[in-house]
Amino acid sequence: MKPPKELQPLIDDGVVDEVLRRLQGGKEASVYTVACGKDIRCAKVYKQAEQRGFHNLARYQEGRKTRGSRDARALGKHGRHGRRVQEAEWQSAEIQALYRLAAAGVRVPAPYGVYDGVLLMELVQDASGHPAPRLNDVEISPEQARLWHQFMIEQIVLMLCAGLIHGDLSEFNILVDGNGPVIIDLPQAVNAAANNSAFRMLERDVNNMRETFGRAAPELLDTEYAREIWKLYEASELTPESVLTGRFERDPTLADVDAVLTQIEDERREAEARQRRRDEADAL
């Protein structure tokens, strides 16, 4: 296929030999399969900030370090430099998260670097060697749902032990290769220790997994892993080997403001997910 303009510099520099096809298009980025020597990889081309539809972006960026005072001031404004800084930080966050999580043993695509605003990474493949489907496109048996739910809770714990929360984990940004789920799309990854919304984002990620796998295995809908995990994390007792029960006793005398806010946020995210599916269907 004819290379998009964003990938032409990588071809000119010999980083990419050929663009094979567009794999996915969406509001935030377009993903292409590319040939790099004998390897087939993914190239993620980020869209410009003004073309994207991120909501509550400041909440995700809270706790991230900005390179200098000028850049920090620019982020608080809506000028051209501020948008460039925002764009660079959004891309940098994903590549840093990928390297950090891969080193921690989390199942994410192997990253190969960022070139001119394009992220090169592993092409996740199914058992037949084709690009792996997203979790929302896979039929799941009750037993598979239980196994994969347990696996995803373990992955969330591994991420938190590495200091990160995905922040947008759902069936739409998990791929399924020959060995199971692989987590993708990390530009919004949250610094757990420095973000005031960290627990709400962790709870949403965990509950999204509960709802997704609970459709096949309804008993999972009664689990309460998020608060159990967070209690251990706040006490500095969470480790990848922590034994979790999925049960948490709440204090009935306390108003659960976090639960109300989480429900509101979940409903908004569901509306966004429906719109994302429509947009991606139109783009294909």
Q: What is the pLDDT of residues 175-220, one digit of tens each?
A: 999 999 999 999 889 999 999 999 999 999 999 999 999 999 999 9
Q: For 112-166, how does the pLDDT look when each residue is reduced to its tens digit (9 = 90+)?
A: 988 888 999 999 999 899 999 999 999 999 999 999 999 999 999 999 999 999 9
Residues β-bridged to residue 29: 46
Q: How many domains does the chain have?
A: 1
Residue 32 lies in a domain: no
The CATH number given to whatever domain includes residue 233 is 1.10.510.10
The predicted structure's pLDDT at residue 24: 86
- The whole-angstrom distance between residue 93's C-alpha and the CA centroid of its chain comes to 11
Place of tokens 């990889």: 41
CA 42 centroid distance within chain:
16
Q: Is residue 89 part of a domain?
A: yes
pLDDT of residue 5: 93
Domain encompassing residue 257: 54-108+133-278
- pLDDT, tens digit, 9 for 90 and up, residues 91-102: 778 889 999 999
Going by pLDDT thresholds of 50, 70 and 90, the confidence category of residue 87 is low
Length of the chain: 284
Task: Please report the pLDDT score of residue 54 as a whole number.
Answer: 47
Give CA–CA dist 154/152, Å, rounded. 5
What is residue 168's predicted lDDT score, i.e. its pLDDT? 94
C-alpha closest to that of 207 among 225, 232, 219, 191: 225
Reading the block at residue 279, the tokens are 């947009």
Residue 12 resides in a domain: no
